[in-house]
A and B are shown apart, each in its own frame.
Chain A
């Protein structure tokens, strides 16, 4: 019993550390990839090929002065960054990184837990993540922060609906909401093929849900400074940043698990396959950011409510009929 608890704690520690490293090097990859897409070099000076740049940035954020403006609502202002970060990190608890394996004669599960409502757990955490944004915007008592947080909340709520409807397709095919069962159900064929429509709807809503370009209106620099985290500095700002990037990793993992077969694949070990799929989607995020201009706010709402949700609903209807016809 004690051994099991210690073992789980070690697993949690490994996953959190890996996520933090992933977040740090995602910023490096972002600067390098977008740099080369725009025929620039990106960071080159800190360490070989600028590889130590994320560490330098992290140290800088740690040691900066932590400013608290006078007019803010202090308790809410202090709690908001945690509420932005914790749900994103907690979501990693149910993600199956690889199949069960045997190390030194002991069976190891390379995931923290496999609950039968794994997918709903991640969805409810991502819907709670919006509180960090609302609270920071309201508590900051600044017009830019308020506008940013209102935009962001509306966007996240709208796209959550489309995302939830798109997710039901793979769930119907797999007959389970446990992420591990969904992965195992894709041994024959990736759900990307029978659920192509859901796949497209899901990736668009995943980008919108994480407030990334071309849906990054909440922090549109040219209009509203930095949106909801305008008044934050130092570590509190870094926590928002961390939450946003961790949420991107969660979405990439979800795409890999729901539509790209998770850790299944020939020749290479499962963990490598999983990471390859996740990295491919993370690259897609950067590619989008370098390619597309930002949408206008009403276009964003139209896309969510008038296009994505009807398409996802139609897909859901057709999938249910086909699944029902096949199973009976």
Chain B
């Protein structure tokens, strides 16, 4: 009973996420795109909850939907860019699409062939049932993954200082 309900939940969330992602890249109006993106974020957060990763789900909504997308909306609203539509598709665009598709296939084949996910030393949290637990998450992050964590922190700090320097320059 529970498994069936969980399955139904997954399919509803997954299909909504894919459909709204498609709507996101096909809308002409950037504000509409942003709103479809919001729906995608919510569906992905729902899938995280289904995987017992409530912490990731909450942070996902807070950071992506609550902060980043709001800034996008701000910029879009203030600049109000006019779309020229998708009807005119020059040769460059078609060429780009073909090239990116080939590269995508190549990347996928490399990944399948090399079995990167299995052979690299990535291991999950020791107690997967408790994944939503912030304490466990913090312990893993600050012991096993301390070096990547520190590198990311330094990068964010650099980005912050860079933003201030750029904004201060008149």
Which residues of A approach B to under 8 Å, CB–CB? 1, 73, 75-76, 79, 115-117, 120-121, 123-124, 127-128, 130-131, 134-135, 137-138, 146, 150, 153, 157, 160, 175, 177
Taking a contact as CB atoms under 8 Å apart, the answer to whether A157 and B70 are in contact is yes
Known pairs A116-B55, A127-B70, A131-B70. 10 more at Cβ < 8 A?
Answer: A73-B31, A116-B133, A123-B58, A128-B66, A131-B35, A134-B70, A135-B31, A135-B35, A175-B135, A177-B134
Question: Which residue of A123, A124, A134 has the most chain B CB atoms within 10 A of its CB atom?
Answer: A124
Question: Which residue of A120, A121, A175 has the most chain B CB atoms within 10 A of its CB atom?
Answer: A120
14 A-B Cβ contacts within 8 A? Answer: A76-B32, A116-B55, A116-B133, A117-B55, A117-B58, A117-B134, A120-B55, A120-B59, A123-B62, A130-B70, A134-B74, A150-B74, A153-B73, A177-B134
Q: When chains A and B are docked, how far (Å) is the Cα of A177 from the Cα of B65?
A: 21
Report which of A75, A130, A150, A175 forms a contact with B77, defined as CB distance below 8 A.
A150
Q: When chains A and B are docked, how far (Å) is the Cα of A25 from the Cα of B112?
A: 62
B interface: dominant SS: helix
Taking a contact as CB atoms under 8 Å apart, the answer to whether A117 and B31 are in contact is no
Number of interface residues of B (CB under 8 A): 25
Q: Which residues of A contact B14 (CB under 8 A)?
A: none
Q: Which residues of B contact A75 (CB under 8 A)?
A: 32
Taking a contact as CB atoms under 8 Å apart, the answer to whether A127 and B67 are in contact is yes
Question: Which residue of A115, A123, A128, A135 has the most chain B CB atoms within 10 A of its CB atom?
Answer: A128
Q: Which 8 A-B pairs have the closest CB atoms?
A: A127-B66, A120-B58, A124-B61, A124-B62, A117-B54, A117-B58, A124-B58, A134-B73
Taking a contact as CB atoms under 8 Å apart, the answer to whether A157 and B67 are in contact is yes
Taking a contact as CB atoms under 8 Å apart, the answer to whether B62 and A138 are in contact is no
Q: Which residues of B contact A137 (CB under 8 A)?
A: 77
Taking a contact as CB atoms under 8 Å apart, the answer to whether A117 and B132 are in contact is yes
Shortest C-beta distance, A248 to chain B (Å), equals: 19
Which residues of B approach A to under 8 Å, CB–CB? 1, 29, 31-32, 35, 38, 54-55, 57-59, 61-62, 65-67, 70, 73-74, 77-78, 132-135
Q: When chains A and B are docked, how far (Å) is the Cα of A116 from the Cα of B53?
A: 11
Q: When chains A and B are docked, how far (Å) is the Cα of A175 from the Cα of B59?
A: 18
Taking a contact as CB atoms under 8 Å apart, the answer to whether B31 and A124 are in contact is no
Q: When chains A and B are docked, how far (Å) is the Cα of A134 from the Cα of B54?
A: 27
Q: When chains A and B are docked, how far (Å) is the Cα of A146 from the Cα of B74?
A: 11
Shortest C-beta distance, A106 to chain B (Å), equals: 23
Shortest C-beta distance, A218 to chain B (Å), equals: 14
Q: Which residues of A contact B66 (CB under 8 A)?
A: 124, 127-128, 130, 160
Closest to A115 in B: B54
Taking a contact as CB atoms under 8 Å apart, the answer to whether A146 and B61 are in contact is no
Q: When chains A and B are docked, how far (Å) is the Cα of A121 from the Cα of B66?
A: 12
Taking a contact as CB atoms under 8 Å apart, the answer to whether A1 and B1 are in contact is yes
Q: Which residues of A contact B133 (CB under 8 A)?
A: 116
Q: Which residues of B contact A160 (CB under 8 A)?
A: 66
Report which of A1, A116, A128, A146 forms a contact with B132, defined as CB distance below 8 A.
A116
Q: When chains A and B are docked, how far (Å) is the Cα of A130 from the Cα of B67?
A: 10
Shortest C-beta distance, B5 to chain A (Å), equals: 10
Q: When chains A and B are docked, how far (Å) is the Cα of A127 from the Cα of B42?
A: 13
Q: Which residues of B contact A175 (CB under 8 A)?
A: 135
Q: When chains A and B are docked, how far (Å) is the Cα of A175 from the Cα of B65?
A: 27
Taking a contact as CB atoms under 8 Å apart, the answer to whether A153 and B58 are in contact is no
Taking a contact as CB atoms under 8 Å apart, the answer to whether B77 and A124 are in contact is no
